[in-house]
A and B are shown apart, each in its own frame.
Chain A
Amino acid sequence: MIELSLALPLSRYRLEVTASLPADTVAVLGPSGSGKTSLLEAIAGLRPKAVGRVVIRGECVMDTANGLRLPPERRRIGYVPQDACLFPHLDVRDNVRFGMRSNGSGLFEEAVAILEIAPLLGRFPGTLSGGERQRVALARAIATEPRLLLLDEPLAAIDLALRGRILPYLLRVRESLGVPFLYVTHNAGEARAVAEAALVLRRGAVAFAGTPEAALEVMSADEDPEARFDNILAGVLEVTGQDGEIGTLRVGDAHFTVPREKGVPAGWRAVYSVAPEDVLVSTKPLEGISARNVHGGRVVSVGTAGPDAWIAIAAAGLEWTARLTRTASDVLGLETGLEVWIAVKTQAFKRLR
């Protein structure tokens, strides 16, 4: 449970966010310049001009109307900014240890294990890749045992190599530590995969607060060129395909055929991304098609934005997002509740971890 009621004057508009989120994991979405980073900084206590109230799981860190404004060092909020902001004069080990108390209490070992940064401990930030920096910054934040994590994924991460994404690690953090977090992302698909609630901002105001699935519809209507709607699949690689040609990923009860993965052991907890353009939709059972992943399901919702149609489909125990042209959607007569089949090529599965 995260309660926010914040106001902060910015150069072009005033940030005003009031939301009571009945979840511990929240995705913050919205176009560039909508105030997402400013919101995180205000929560972390780094914006002296911010006024309002912040309550995390019943603990109040700020309530300016009643004269409470904890300084950032007493909020115990772990902040991972876009550019990671690692201390350049310290190696990775000392960066991760920076926020731990002098008696050594904290989650150093856990942070290093979850973020898989043991091989990086002796290196300096200047020698790390963008993805590695993000992981170290997240490790540094969770090592302090924060009551809340704030993650600001850089927009540049969209163009970053897939393996640089922080998302798979955030899934691990959620699983093993259960720390509440706010995750800024441009990827509505990632929001759906990692968060229980979503907050969409537009010009400093709350455009939507609710489930990540519903946020998808709000976002797709926005025509934000930076927004992404990838399908995220987290599961177990049962066959890596090292001997044969292809691998097998199990998500829940469903199995998917994925590309051959060298250097990954069977049993690996993998995370895959499938672009919405790569999900084919058919209103008839598919036979004699080269795509290896064919599943029957039902249309959950149909949304349109410009020339695009965004189709949400429940299939194989997951909710998929498919992006079609509006014309294609009209010709097929797609509507909520209709029985459909989806097909995804093996090569459309891109492994994030």
Chain B
Amino acid sequence: MEPRSDLSILLLTLRVAAIATLVILPVGIFAAWRLSRREGAVRTLAETLLSLPLVLPPTAVGLLLLEALRRSGPLGRLLDRLGIEVLFTWKAVVLATAVMSFPLLVRPARTAFEEVDPRLLAMGRSLGSGPLAVFRRVALPLAWRGILAGTLLAFSRALGEFGATIMIAGSIPGRTQTMALAIFQRNQIGQDDASMRLVGITVVISFLIVWTTEFITRRRTRRAMG
């Protein structure tokens, strides 16, 4: 296997993380919205299931995905019939990172939706907007900070995903090897300097993202108090 440049690894990582984030964004916003307007046992169950990827070992999530996508499994068979190959391709990286990042998007977005005064939503209805229009014209604009914070968190989580990815996508240079996987592999074969270079890059990127997220959330809190 030919060695890959730092840049190509970085670009691959950014690309899969961006695609994974874009894929979960509409689903995550919808889930967050529905959860924020519900009470009771169903909601608690849904929240618990959604949060599982946060607490399970990523390799366990990876193994479950692997089982689901196996050719003999129902999902694998369907994909096979459609001619879609997922396992050990970049699509598997996207799938693994999407699943692992999902709760990080949903939780802040849900909190942001919960902070929207339900009376404002009722007001929107009374002024002639249907439920969907009220979501678009009132809930989304008022919750955008939380949604953005969640999106950035999910994206940064996607950048660093390791455990689930290696289970279903492997660590194929140029195809599925992201930063996290490359750091591990270079370290394993004794390329400490090359490994450390990648670490430096991830530190800079992660710092920027988390700093931005903090900045956004901080401003929201201050505004809520003022």
Contact = CB atoms under 8 A, between A and B. Distances in A.
A99 B141 contact: no
Given A85-B119, A85-B120, A46 B126 contact: yes
A189 interface: no
B127 A98 contact: yes
Contact of B125 (A72, A76, A88, A144): A72
A247 interface: no
Contacts, number: 52
Nearest to A79: B126
A87 interface: yes
A73 B129 contact: yes
Q: B119, B120, B123: which has the most chain A beta carbons within 10 Å?
A: B123
B128 A76 contact: yes
B124 interface: yes
A49 interface: no
Chain B interface SS verdict (over half): helix
Interface string B6-46: 00000000000000000000000000000000000000000
Interface in B98-152: 117, 119-120, 122-130, 137-138, 141-142
A44 interface: yes
B122 A72 contact: yes
Q: Could you say which interface size class chain A belongs to?
A: 20 to 34
A89 B125 contact: no
A101 interface: yes
Contacts of A45: 125-126
B141 A77 contact: no
Chain A interface SS verdict (over half): loop
Interface string A43-60: 011100000000000000
A85 B125 CA distance: 13
Contacts of A71: 125, 130
A144 B128 contact: yes
Contacts of B137: 98
Contacts of A81: 119, 123
Contact of A72 (B119, B120, B126, B141): B126
A98 B124 CA distance: 8
Contacts of A79: 123, 126
Contacts of B119: 81, 83, 85
A99 B127 contact: yes
Nearest to A85: B123
A87 B138 contact: yes
B122 to A, nearest CB: 5
A140 interface: yes
A73 B141 contact: no
16 contacts: A46-B122, A71-B130, A73-B127, A73-B130, A74-B128, A75-B126, A76-B128, A78-B126, A79-B126, A81-B119, A85-B120, A98-B127, A98-B129, A99-B128, A141-B127, A144-B127
Interface of A: 44-46, 71-79, 81, 83, 85, 87-89, 98-99, 101, 140-141, 144
Interface of B: 117, 119-120, 122-130, 137-138, 141-142
Which 10 residue pairs are nearest across A and B when measured between Cβ atoms? A99-B127, A72-B125, A72-B126, A85-B123, A89-B141, A79-B126, A46-B122, A99-B128, A73-B128, A73-B125
